[in-house]
Structure 1
Amino acid sequence: MNRPEKPKEGGIPPGLLAMLILILFPSSALAQTRLFDYVDNHTSIMMLVDPDTGIIMDANKTASAFYGYPQEVLRGMSITRINVLSPEEIRAEMQAAAAQRRNYFVFPHRIADGSIRTVEVYSSPVVAPADGRRILLSIVHDITGKSVPEAEMDAYRVRLNALVETRARELVEARSMNAILAAAAILASLAGVILYFGVRNQRRSEAAIRAALEERNNLFAELQHRVKNSFAAIASLIHIEQSRTREESVRSALGTLGGRVDTLAALYRLMHEGRMDGRVDLPRYLREIVGPLSAAIEGAAPRLEMECGISELAWDAKRASNLGLILNELVTNAYKHSPAGETGSIRVTLERCGPDLRLSVSNPGDPLPTGFEPGTGSGFGLLMVRELVRQFEGSLGFDSSGGRVDFTIRVPA
């Protein structure tokens, strides 16, 4: 970059030049225009600066060559882009020059290539032609590598030390921030690694759990299959013995026992064919019970009908088997105690009643004896029904008016 020519030996020193300019061009409304008409091609670095805003209002060609910026760029530039002191220090010095308390300064100035030059500055106030404001005429002399007047040396050294401390603090803060960012990046990487291994271990655990569940379900299905076959074999033996016996009481007892076994066999058949969580569709299970019972009394009166007001309800196997045994006993009991030659029907009804489930079995029949209590007679069927209802914490009711006998139980759904 081209440097301005240094004043020749015997040339006018910058301080004297400033005094001569102010004598030749006094502070008037036209001073600024006349001044830069005269000095634009002068070899000294000259600028006009607004002391209130720090804006460079004008600069001559020598200033443009020294600082490395075109004149049109220098005009309008803040002096803080050139002077490396803090904005507060620069503002204080400009105000001192505007008030004519001081007119000689030594500053570190930054040029366009980023290098720092030591300069002495002579600043004096002149009047701006546009609005009559006082602005500063600054004549700059490059003294980089030269001796600085002793009176300015201490102040200049203090400024440089403060500048070094400020830049060092900024560097430390920048390095601290870089260290923080680096640490954050390392932590993020570690978190990613931990997350990866965590997800991988979780997937392995899930796969192991799925394998264990599949093995358990296979074992459960095999157990259900074996139990179902065992119940089928028991039911077959009971029916064989029932067909062989000639005594009616024995045939009746074997038939009742076979119905109970069929009820449990139906439960395990549904569990084997359906869900693997030990639960069964209750309405379907009860229909599976009613179906064989209806076939057993086919051709005899009364006929068996079922009305189900519930489309689907999943119950665990234990509760479902208990309700199935209750239904089997009530239907068997209804069939046994229906009058001979009756042409009516045995009706089974299943419906919801709020939080409860209501199961009703109704058959044609005469009124029950006064003081009748289910399970107090010699038969085992109603006694078993009463005990199972108690386990449900439900209720058992009956009614024998209107030519029909109704048994109704309510249990929690």
Structure 2
Amino acid sequence: MQTFTTRPRTMLAMLKRMRPGGRQQSQLQADGVEDLCRRFQELELRFEEYDHRVKNNTQMMLSVLSMARRSAVNQEARFALDAVASKLNAAAQIQSILQRAGHGQTVRCDDLLRELSRNIQAASPCNFALIVDSDPVELPSSAALPLGLIVNELLTNAIKHGVTAQRGCVRVSLKTSGDALELRVEDNGPGIRPCQIGGRHSGLRLVEHLAARLQGQFHMHPGPGGRGVLRFNRTQSAV
């Protein structure tokens, strides 16, 4: 299936600015431009319909999880359902950010990280400082969702294990060196204990799975001062 680097609405505006007889339209007749405009309008409507359906389906699944949580008979089941709902909500939030960025083949992941991290901070009851330091990075849109989910999981872990009753600090950074990228999520708190790394219910297992999708390597360093590090290559991250 053909993909476009320009959002249909943007391409439509470009086509409408064409004038008969101009250099840009030397090989296009007026009826051809009108046909392209109509096709791009239809494509834009399909994208909007798809996005709307994704949001509705996500809300339906969150409602089902909420009902299941209320009927759960033990605390462990409620914790598990909360974890699933949190990850689903994070995926929906990332999808919403990507939608606003357009339907192109690449995504500015520095913008994605900033907005996602600040949203997580705003939703947290903890009082902590957040530093987001990212190089300008464009990645395939297929890699943006797993990268965003990794950031969500690591930042949530940092808040849970690294932020105490006192004011803490969490740092999210994404740095490049050629095609190599390194994501770090660090905190200045006690961090997680070595025995918690790779635990059966740990969200770090999800991070390891997502890192594999990006063909990258992930390492979690125990406290004090927890640090999660993901290294991957932009040329290998199209999943």
Q: Give the structure-2-normalised TM-score.
A: 0.69
Q: State the match for 1:332 in structure 2.
A: 156
The 2-side partners of 1:342 and 1:248 are apart by: 28
Identity of aligned residues (%): 24
Residues 334 and 366 from structure 1, CA distance in 2 versus in 1: closer, same or farther, beyond 3 angstroms?
Answer: closer
Q: State the match for 1:393 in structure 2.
A: 215
- Mapped pair 1:255 → 2:82: yes
1:222-281 CA-partner distances (Å, limit 9, x unpaired): 211221232244345545765786854344333322221222212332344341336443
- Which structure's residues are more often helix, by fraction? 2
Q: State the match for 2:19 in structure 1.
A: none
Mark the runs of 5 or more structure 2 residues left unpaired by the alignment. 1-25, 235-239
The 2-side partners of 1:368 and 1:202 are apart by: 68
Return the offset for 1:359: 1.5
2:190·2:225 contact (CA, 8 Å) conserved in 1? yes
Q: How many residues align?
A: 209
SS state of the match for residue 409, structure 1? strand
- Mapped pair 1:407 → 2:228: yes
- Mapped pair 1:231 → 2:58: yes
The 2-side partners of 1:235 and 1:284 are apart by: 26
1:398·1:406 contact (CA, 8 Å) conserved in 2? yes
Q: 2:134 aligns with which of 309, 315, 327?
A: 309
The 1-side partners of 2:50 and 2:173 are apart by: 33
1:359·1:408 contact (CA, 8 Å) conserved in 2? yes
Which residue type is aligned with residue 411 of structure 1? F
The 1-side partners of 2:72 and 2:129 are apart by: 26
Mark the runs of 5 or more structure 1 residues left unpaired by the alignment. 1-198
The 2-side partners of 1:269 and 1:356 are apart by: 27
Instruction: Provide the aligned C-alpha RMSD in A.
Output: 3.4
1:362·1:404 contact (CA, 8 Å) conserved in 2? yes
Which residue type is aligned with residue 190 of structure 2? G
Q: State the match for 1:357 in structure 2.
A: 181
The 2-side partners of 1:272 and 1:234 are apart by: 20
Return the offset for 1:321: 0.7
Q: 2:49 aligns with which of 216, 222, 241?
A: 222
SS state of the match for residue 226, structure 2? strand
